[in-house]
Structure 1
Amino acid sequence: MHGYIYLDIYISLDKNFLPVNLKDMLNFLFFCKSEIKVPKEFLETIGAFGINLKNPDEVIDNRALSGILVLGGDGTLLKAVPYAYEYDLPILGVNMGKFGFLTEITLEELPQVLKLWVEGSLTFDERTLLEAKYQDKVEVFLNEGAILKGPVGRIITLDLKIDGEEFIEIYGDGLIVSTPTGSTAYNLSAGGPVVHPRVRAMIITPICSFKINHKPFLIPEDSTLEVILKEGEEEVHLLLDGRTNLFIEPKQPVRFHRAKRPLKLVSSPTKSYLTILKEKFTW
């Protein structure tokens, strides 16, 4: 669950490390992995930097917010994405999970990152967000939008159009539409490629296609992809970043395209994306 942390704590950080011009408190929306024991080092660091943590569900005026602070894993960070997009805020993810492709910052790196932040010298990675539209519902996602067959397990048929042009018919368990950032998530498990986050592309990966010559492929990120479920009795889901689940009906198109602006993400000051990739996959 996310919520408040109150900062009535003893600060043990070396005061010489702190920025000289630290005057105003930084206000962050705070997302925390459920049932986590918040480390003392984390509390001491945010206290030393005068950070005020806000509950996302209770924010009224977002103009005073500096960013979003996530303590947990990639799943926790994905829950913060709609808030980051709506308020146009950068996300700082502190890794307390297992894998941590998105939550790159370690507890040891956090003081260094916050020092750069308050000094105004921190740079942000821009990650492409995609938007899914189904009927009157519109949502952005960072990793993937997956169209999946339901519990009955019957094969489903999906018609694909790219920029209005009829393309192919996918006959199988479903389809994943992924960003380069999400290429190491569900897309990779389904046989899709690892794509560097700076590549401007949308990844389309069939799930267990009945036609074995249907392989994952990339299209330009400014394309519009339309997916239409053909007739069938199977219950079909649209799952966005593992947090939003919509039921889709035959003949009702799901449209995917690039969101109006990217996500700003704080990256590790000590490790490159390629270094993290090698470490996580033990390459």
Structure 2
Amino acid sequence: MEAKTYAFFYRKDVPVAKKWAVKIRAWMRKEHPDIKENSKSPDFLLVLGGDGAVLSAVQKYKGEPAIISLNLGNVGFLSSVRSPKKFLSALQKLFKGAYSEEKRMLLSISAYRGKRLVFEAESLNEAAIQSPLGMVELEVNIEDHPFQYVRGTGILVSTATGSTAFNLSAHGPVVMPEMECMIITKLLDHNIPTPSFVVTGDKVVRLKVLNFRKHGLLSLGKTGKAVDVVLSADSNSIFPLEPGDIVEIRKAERYAKFAVFEKNYFLKSVQEKFSFN
């Protein structure tokens, strides 16, 4: 794709990200004066930060600009460029067309109370149902087939991209990010431990909240409403659930797009993070 516009995305409370935005903006005026900054509908979105910044960028920009993640964080599994020393050289490749584009599956998440839709969101990494201070009973259905019952802290449904995030912390499998699948992982289940289960991306997963004890010890910051069990999408969108609610998770219609500069970059990232020899 020929680049005509670009934009920055970063957290304003991260000084190093702001410094890099100033530096890159000056470099762009010198090296690529014909490519203009456009924060509303950019062709390329330069994300300065860690994986959390990438998740927020995907939530904000629905127009599907290609994301270039310039890693200033700690993890960097979603990063296009992991070292600041390589930021400008990678951008030079980008604006000369020397890159490939990788599409990542998103989740479409809908919550129903009776027949009424009460919440919907998209996520790049995962959807999670959690009872932070207690226990929740859940029924997992795959394509309307009752598959599993959970009695514990909750359950996680991750994309392949999200396999290296919350899913990994919950001892779920690492999956190549270009795969279209959903990974179902229980969170601290009180039943006999079972492994995660991977389903193809064309399936629909439904999670029914069967029961939980109401303690009312937590509240949502914006509303002050007492909550016990919550549904979250990439930890950015949070919604309180009630017994009987059904959460439906499927592949979203749109994708997130990432610019890739080196072959086998994900394998190299995994090797670095886990010290594989």
Q: TM-score range by the shorter chain?
A: 0.7 to 0.9
1:219 equivalent in structure 2: 199
Matched position secondary structure for 1:173: strand
The aligned counterpart of 1:249 is 242
User: In the alignment, what sits opposite 2:44?
Assistant: 67
1:26 aligned to 2:5? Answer: yes
243, 255, 263: which is aligned to 2:256? Answer: 263
Measured after TM superposition, the shift of residue 83 of structure 1 is 2.9
Contact 1:41/1:107 (<8 A) preserved: no
Higher RCO (CA-CA < 8 Å; seq separation 6+) = 2
In the alignment, the residues of structure 2 paired with residue 34 and residue 183 of structure 1 have an alpha-carbon distance, to the nearest angstrom, of 28
Give the match for residue 176 of structure 1: 156
| 1:41 positional shift | 5.9
Contiguous gaps of at least 5 residues in structure 2: 30-34, 112-116, 215-227
Amino acid at match of 2:187: I
Deviations along 1:86-110, one digit per CA (max 9) or x if unpaired, are: 2121111111111111123132322
Q: Tell me, yes or no, if structure 1 residue 111 matches structure 2 residue 88.
A: yes
Which residue of 1 is the match for residue 58 of structure 2?
81
TM-score by length of 1: 0.81
SS at match of 1:124: strand
2:268 is equivalent to residue 275 of structure 1: yes
Give matches, 1:147-166, under 5 Å: 147-151=129-133, 153=134, 155-166=135-146
Determine which of 78, 103, 127 is the counterpart of 1:145. 127
The superposition leaves residues 12-52 of structure 1 with CA deviations (integer Å, 9 ceiling, x where unpaired) of: xxxxxxxxxx9x96331423362323475653333222365
2:15 is paired with a residue of what secondary structure? coil
Counterparts of 1:196 and 1:29 in 2: how far apart (Å)? 27
**Count of aligned positions:** 251
Q: Is the 8 A contact 1:42 1:107 kept in 2?
A: no
Q: Provide the C-alpha distance between the structure 2 equivalents of 1:145 and 1:170, rounded to a whole number of angstroms.
A: 16
CA RMSD of aligned residues (A): 2.3
Which residue matches 2:100? 123
Q: Secondary structure at the match of 1:277?
A: helix
For 1:242 and 1:267, how far apart are their aligned partners in 2? 26
Cα gap change, 1:25/1:161 in structure 2, threshold over 3 Å: closer, same or farther? closer
2:240 & 2:13 partners in 1: Cα distance?
27
1: CA distance, partners of 2:85 / 2:264 = 13
CA deviation after TM superposition for structure 1 residue 230, in Å: 0.8
Aligned to 2:223: none
Q: Which residue of 2 aligns with 1:228?
A: 208
- Unaligned runs of 5+ residues in structure 1 are 1-21
Amino acid at match of 2:49: G
Distance 1:131 1:121, change over 3 A: same
TM-score (norm 2): 0.82
Residue 142 to residue 41, structure 1, CA distance change in 2 (3 Å): closer
Runs of 4+ in 1 over 6 A off after TM superposition: none
1:53 Cα shift? 4.7
